[in-house]
Amino acid sequence: MATAPRGRRVLPVVRRTTWLLNALFWSAFAVLEAVNHGWLAGLLAVVFFMAPDLTFLVGIGDARGMAKGRLQPRAVPYYNAAHRALVPLALMTLYAFGPVTWAPAFAALCGWLAHISYDRAFGYGLRTKEGFQRD
């Protein structure tokens, strides 16, 4: 029986553990922002934590008869755009160096990054154009 080299078995565990630590960090940061800046910051953090998965609703009517775990191909560009960590990180950078100083916006970005990080930690990544999980 052929087995993968030790390095190939360890890397996914390290990667997923790193994503989990990242998720816990952004979750804690979102809670801190909510505590420091009020209910609106907390509400936006929760909304943006859930919002990326609303992309599943694109093409939900066409989902009948699709393989389990497959996303409707029409929804893939929206799903992938909402699940790229660089998008909220870039917006955070603009927030840090730009003229906007509204704390609830930063809390929302923390919630968004927490969502992406939890997805990666639990094995849910970006999708292929056919709607399947990428390896």
DSSP conformational letter for 131: S
- Helix or strand run (H / E) with residue 132: none
What is the number of other CB atoms lying within 10 angstroms of the CB of residue 59? 17
Confirm whether 3 is domain-assigned.
no
Mean residue pLDDT of the chain comes to 91
CA distance 68 to 4: 27
What is the number of other CB atoms lying within 10 angstroms of the CB of residue 29? 18
Give residue 81's pLDDT. 97
Q: How confident is the model over 73-115, as pLDDT tens digits?
A: 999 999 999 999 999 999 999 999 999 889 999 999 999 999 9
Domain coverage including residue 106 = 14-122
Contact 130, 63 (CB under 8 A): no
Confirm whether 64 is domain-assigned.
yes
Give residue 8's pLDDT. 67
Q: pTM for the complete prediction?
A: 0.89
CA distance 73 to 131: 5
Give residue 5's pLDDT. 64
Contact 70, 133 (CB under 8 A): no
Give residue 63's pLDDT. 67
Q: How many domains does the chain have?
A: 1
Confirm whether 133 is domain-assigned.
no
